Amino acid sequence: MLAALLALPFSGWAQTAGQKLLPRHVPATIQRLKPIGPVPASQKLRLAVGLPLRQTDELTNLLRQLYDPNSTNYHHYLTANEFKERFGPTIEDYQTVVRFAESNGLEVAGTHDSRMVLDLWGKASDVERVFHVKLQAYQHPAEARRFYAPDVAPSVDASLPIQDVIGLSDYAMLKPASHRRLGTTTGQDAAGSGPNGNYMGYDFRQAYAPGVSLDGTGQMVGLLEADGYYTNDILAYESLAGLPNVPLQNILIDSFRGVPGTNNNEVALDIEMAISMAPGLASVVVFETPDSVPDWLDVLEIMSEQTQIKQFSSSWGYSDGENPNAV
């Protein structure tokens, strides 16, 4: 059955009784663009295959109960392991997807304890064959770069426990939320303690949490970042602002090596703001990831496994407001 399905033409693939389409994988942008050409058959692609949760109705009810003061489940949160065993994909489902990938020429690049994501490597030609798509390159309409995307929604055998195949496109990219101030502004003088009256260090607590005595003592905070940073920048800021030297821990995801790039200021700002608002922190854990959607899923998976961290944050958005799971 599978061999016969894989032999069908790529273009104009229609869902059949034995197949299921995986929606939201084709960027809407390509409807307005002309392809430059096909992705080279030998190009290696990084994929993250998502498996569906079980008992979703029960999960929806539980989420309501967790925040209902009248429920016996109010604030009775599940541990990561409890969630996995109750709602996560089964071991059998995970192995089914592993066997499917390996039998079709794809390489398992990584597994996750939650069994919700399976990381794969594969040549473009194999990816096209397995998921019944054609991958085309396009010129980005607003950025000086090219991207690739599938011509149609991917499809797999209906019996496979697969919900998403992330990485069929590299259209979406993380974008820093910080903006450089242009020119000069007029109006009320700034009331901060930094140079030119800018806010710095403890000024942020005074502005956003006046009178609050809690300062994060003994707590850890995790930050999702798509770039590296210079440790000396953090030390210099702590010294200038009169903040304590909070320990930093870096967790590098996939192929990222922690080398600061053009957006390192965004990472430094995130770390400095966390320390300014919670100067008693035991540590700031910085999860540094390459800027691709499959890697985003990996970093979220890895962050969810760090049960000793109770607070997570990220200041990054993504290209053009498109749902990253759709590209």
Residue-wise pLDDT for 256-281, tens only, equals 899 999 999 999 999 999 999 999 99
Q: For residue range 294-315, what is the model confidence (pLDDT) as tens digits?
A: 787 888 888 988 889 999 999 9
- In which residue are the tokens 């000396």 written? 232
Does the structure show a pLDDT above 70 at 133?
yes
Residue 298 structural domain: 195-318
Average pLDDT over the chain, rounded to an integer? 88
Query: What are the C-alpha distances in Å from 159 to residues 19, 49, 93, 156?
Result: 8, 15, 10, 8
Does the structure show a pLDDT above 60 at 186?
no
Does the structure show a pLDDT above 90 at 40?
yes
Range in 32-46, 167-181, 234-248 with the lowest mean pLDDT? 167-181
| 73 inside domain | no
Domain identity same for 29 and 132: yes
pLDDT computed for residue 299 by the predictor: 87
Closest residue by Cα to residue 304 from 162, 172, 115 = 115
Q: For residue 149, with 0-12 CB atoms within 10 Å meaning exposed, 13-18 middle and 19 or more buried, which class applies?
A: buried
Q: How many domains does the chain have?
A: 2
| 43 inside domain | yes
Q: For residue range 58-116, what is the model confidence (pLDDT) as tens digits?
A: 999 999 999 999 999 999 999 889 999 999 999 999 999 999 999 999 999 999 999 99
| 68 inside domain | no
Percent over 70 (pLDDT), the chain: 88
Q: What is the DSSP letter of 51?
A: P
| 40 inside domain | yes
Domain identity same for 242 and 305: yes
Residue 70, classed as helix, strand or coil, is: coil
Q: Which pTM value belongs to this model? A: 0.81
Domain identity same for 199 and 157: no
Domain identity same for 26 and 127: yes
β-pairing, 117-123 with 107-111? antiparallel
**What tokens does 325 get?**
């799971």
Domain identity same for 163 and 201: no
| 228 inside domain | yes
Domain identity same for 35 and 119: yes
- φ/ψ (deg, to 5) at 45: -115, 145
| 57 inside domain | no
Domain identity same for 95 and 45: yes
Asked which of 137, 171, 205 is the last residue of a domain, the reply is 171
Asked which of 155, 171, 187 is the last residue of a domain, the reply is 171
Domain identity same for 94 and 207: no
Query: What are the C-alpha distances in Å from 239 to residues 191, 232, 272?
Result: 20, 10, 11
Domain identity same for 201 and 153: no
| 67 inside domain | no
Q: Which amino acid is at 197?
A: G
Domain identity same for 18 and 159: yes
pLDDT computed for residue 266 by the predictor: 94
pLDDT computed for residue 82 by the predictor: 93
Report residue 181's pLDDT band, with 50, 70 and 90 as the boundaries.
Answer: low
Domain identity same for 167 and 206: no
